[in-house]
Amino acid sequence: MSAKGSLGIFVEWPIATPLRLRENAEGGTPPPPDPDWVADFQSTHGRDPNQQDWQDHLLSLRYPGTGPNGEWLDRDWQVYYRLVDLLGGDLLGQIGKRGGHGTGLYSGIGVFLALWKLEPGPDGTRIAYVRNFPAGGIPPNTTGWTWGNTILILESERNNRPLLMHEYTHVLQYRLTGIRYVPNYLKGGLYNWDNNPYEMQGVEVQQIYEWNPWLPPIWEIVWAGGRSG
């Protein structure tokens, strides 16, 4: 649910995966690490890169940063790592998955609330652009509502990318938590964006994207075990 602006799962980085070739989500093999990049990384960071460093580098090539010719500046990397740390490996590990037990049930409730007026969304989600109650499926005084893998967003907010990142964060929360999501959410309180931990995380993600619109979408992040330093 969104109005202004989180599940505060601040997990420690797990032991990082050494840099090596690994199959990607499509079953293929990613390109081998660039020796020049590896040498530059070692010179800059004083350590060998791992798989997460390589995946982050590939992401930076697909999505330009704020530097000359789209280069990612140090401050860009700091913002990106802040986003990754905020989401944590538990949530990022849900990208590309359908969710735990109960996620499908909640997705079905979202389909009903959307009156089946759905469009394909990112990462296996479905999105409906609707109105607030009673004309549509979103509660009053909110701009978005997520049920499982189903995202409802106000018609007037169709192009609101930070809001979509907020709602997609809830998708990952549902996938991780499964059937326990709604009971846990209700414990935090409805319309309680300042204290409900699920909403606190969504709000912070939304703010990061409002301040840094160049950031890649969350679903493009490849989680490979985290940075080693």
* pLDDT at residue 13 in the model: 28
CA 141-146-152 angle, to 5 degrees, is 70
* pLDDT at residue 100 in the model: 87
* Nearest Cα residue to 8 out of 161, 147, 209, 173: 173
Q: Residue ranges of the chain with pLDDT lower than 70?
A: 1-31, 229
Can you give the pTM of this predicted structure? 0.87
Per-residue pLDDT of 75-111, as tens digits, reads 999 999 999 999 999 999 999 999 988 999 999 999 9
* pLDDT at residue 135 in the model: 85
* pLDDT at residue 21 in the model: 39
Tokens of 166: 């907020």
* pLDDT at residue 6 in the model: 30
* pLDDT at residue 190 in the model: 84
* pLDDT at residue 68 in the model: 97
Which amino acid, one-letter code, is at 204? E
Domains of the chain by residue range: 35-95+215-220, 103-211
* pLDDT at residue 193 in the model: 82
